[in-house]
A = this chain, B = another copy of it.
Amino acid sequence: MLVDGKQMRPIWFDADLKIAKVIDQRMLPHQLVVADLNTVDDVIEAIREMFVRGAPLIGATGAFGVYTAVLRDQECNDDRLAAECDRLKAVRPTAVNLAWGVERVLETCMGRDDRDARLAAALAESLAIVEEEAENCRLIGEHGLSLIREISRKKGGKPVNILTHCNAGWLATVEYGTATAPMYTAFDQGIEIHVWVDETRPLNQGARLTAWELGKHGIAHTVITDNAGGHLMQHGMVDLVIVGTDRTTWTGDVANKIGTYLKALAAKDNDIPFYVALPSSTIDWEMDNGVTSIPIEERDPAEISHIQGLDGGGNLVKVLVPPPASPCANHAFDVTPSRLVTGLITERGMCDASREGILTLFPEKR
């Protein structure tokens, strides 16, 4: 999407240097730092230290990790390549997209003895993954657009107020984002929108990343605390909620950043549509009950106690908020039961958040 008038993605291939580059998102919004992925260790660091985050982007970065391994191995050794791929997959074992992206590129390389052909195959497959992710998000935007257009029509063209939680934007995917895709599509078509951006504690991905993305693209938005959405909904200031998801069961239960469930409850209580945008790769086709079955990661309590920002001298620092002696607990995700979800927006279209709804769009899973 646009950054200061220039098209940008969070990952791209530099044809001159023959390496992939990523935005180091840890410094956003205060510094736009680009990291070169020269070696497999660079790729591992970028994934482990969360230069990149978001399932589709992690998958694409893993794919380029395989390309990088091929680039650095003059001898086309299959065993060595497989070992490098194992190292890559081990960085975030719960990220299914990582293993998927790595294996897909690995398969196209194995057995190729000609180094140029091997490298070309790895690059082509990595780029294909990137373009597929971008196309999925573009389609989510096309399908979700109708929701926003309809509300805009009902409001006589007055701005449509959309609330979102966390960052399910292009920084988490490759282009458009998931939750943000319908917003970018509507904006680019001239529909007036305004986005309420939940800051999304503890890591503030909303305040730091979503606000930055939207602002750079020129979309009107306002940062609010995670506490504010219910009040805004009670007073008619929210027309639509769209969030992303890390995993959605085929019964329609939605795992997403902690706090999503509270917004879904408020939307239900105030008759406001609550939509979840996702590429179908996020659907878990095995799990029936998301609330009881999806494991919820507990992360470092320091993410709660220490907050990163720019100090008065312009330095990026972390400050301690609670008493040092007080423990913090950092449950990173929650699960919104399907009964609170108005619908899902996928690359194939929209559907109810239910087994029947999902199978209508994905009949091959019957």
- Is A320 interfacial (CB-CB < 8 Å)? yes
Interface of A, helix, strand, loop or mixed by DSSP: mixed
One complex includes copies of this chain to the number of: 2
CB contact between A225 and one of B207, B222, B258, B311 (< 8 Å): that residue:
B258
Residue-wise interface mask of A (211-248) relative to B, using a CB-CB cutoff of 8 A (1 in contact, 0 not) = 11001000001111111111110100000000000000
Contact of A93 with B by CB under 8 A: no
In the bound complex, residues from chain B placing their C-beta under 8 Å from that of A266 are: 261-262, 265
User: Is A34 part of the contact surface with B, judged by Cβ < 8 Å?
Assistant: no
Collect the chain B residues with CB atoms within 8 Å of residue A200's CB.
Answer: 227
**Residue contact A226 to B225, C-beta cutoff 8 Å:** yes
List chain B residues, Cβ under 8 A from A273: none
Segment at the B interface, from A81-89, A167-175, A300-308, A352-360: A300-308
CB neighbours of A308 from chain B (8 A): 319, 321
A325 in contact (CB, < 8 A): yes
Give A310 to B322 CA distance when docked, in angstroms: 9
- Contact between A227 and B259 (Cβ–Cβ < 8 Å)? yes
**Residue on B nearest A321 in the bound complex, by CB:** B309
Instruction: Give the contacting residue for A328; candidates B222, B291, B326; CB below 8 A.
Output: B222
Q: Is A90 located at the chain interface by the 8 A CB criterion?
A: no
C-alpha spacing A344/B161, complex, angstroms = 35
Decide if A156 is an interface residue (CB 8 Å cutoff).
Answer: no
**Chain A, 244-267, CB within 8 A of any chain B CB:** 257-259, 261-263, 265-266
Contact of A201 among B225, B296, B323 (CB under 8 A): B225
CB distance from A47 to the nearest CB of B (A): 24
CB within 8 Å for A231 and B321 given contacts A221-B326, A311-B311, A329-B224: no
Q: Are A304 and B223 in contact (CB under 8 A)?
A: yes
Report the bound CA distance from A223 to B331 in whole Å. Answer: 11
Cα separation A339 to B310 with both chains bound (whole Å): 43
State whether the Cβ of A159 lies closer than 8 Å to any Cβ in chain B: no
* Chain B residues whose CB sits within 8 angstroms of the CB of A306 once the complex forms: 309
Question: Does A327 have its Cβ within 8 Å of any Cβ on chain B?
Answer: yes
- A24 in the interface (beta carbon within 8 A): no
A204 at the interface (CB under 8 A from B): yes
Closest 7 A/B residue pairs (Cβ): A227-B259, A309-B319, A231-B334, A29-B323, A207-B322, A211-B326, A265-B265
List, sorted by A's number, 9 A–B pairs whose CB atoms are closer than 8 Å: A201-B226, A204-B322, A208-B321, A212-B323, A223-B329, A225-B330, A231-B335, A232-B331, A317-B317
